[in-house]
Amino acid sequence: MVAAPTRGIEIRRSDLRRLVDKVGPLLRRLERALKPRLLMLTAPWTERLIGMACLVLSVFVFLPIPFANLLPSIGIILYGFALLERDGLLAIAATAVTVACLTLFGSVAVAFAAAAGHAIRQFG
């Protein structure tokens, strides 16, 4: 079986220019807001912890719960920006999002287990 040839995606220059014009000011503001601070929170040993947190968040992204992948995705993006800019304050914000995700998905898991236990008792 031979794979079909793929065609490259073409973007018109005018569309790309319009996108750059809209996103450019937002990125400049973001770049001004992010700066190296609280460097101990983005030290090399904490990068491993951040990597583990991103791994957990990425598992949450793939769970089949409607609209539940937005919060973990935001956490991964925040961790990425925190590591890029060495911004410990942003790493704290990303950790808060991670805790919120763990709370949300943990409570969903507990509710699911309770419902399964109740169903087993009813039909058992």
| Tens-digit pLDDT profile for residues 14-61 | 989 999 999 999 888 888 888 888 888 888 899 999 999 999 999 999
Q: What is the pTM of this model?
A: 0.75
Own/partner contacts of 43-46, CB < 8 Å, gap of 24 or more, are 46/91
Residue 15 belongs to some domain of the structure: no
CA distance 108 to 84: 32
Residue 102 belongs to some domain of the structure: yes
Domain count, the chain: 1
Phi-psi region at 35: left, alpha or beta (left = phi > 0; alpha = psi -120 to 50):
beta
Given a contact cutoff of 8 angstroms between Cβ atoms, the answer to whether 28 and 79 are in contact is no
Residue 11 belongs to some domain of the structure: no
Which structural domain, as residue segments, surrounds residue 115? 36-123
CA distance 85 to 19: 24
- Determine the pLDDT at residue 4: 60
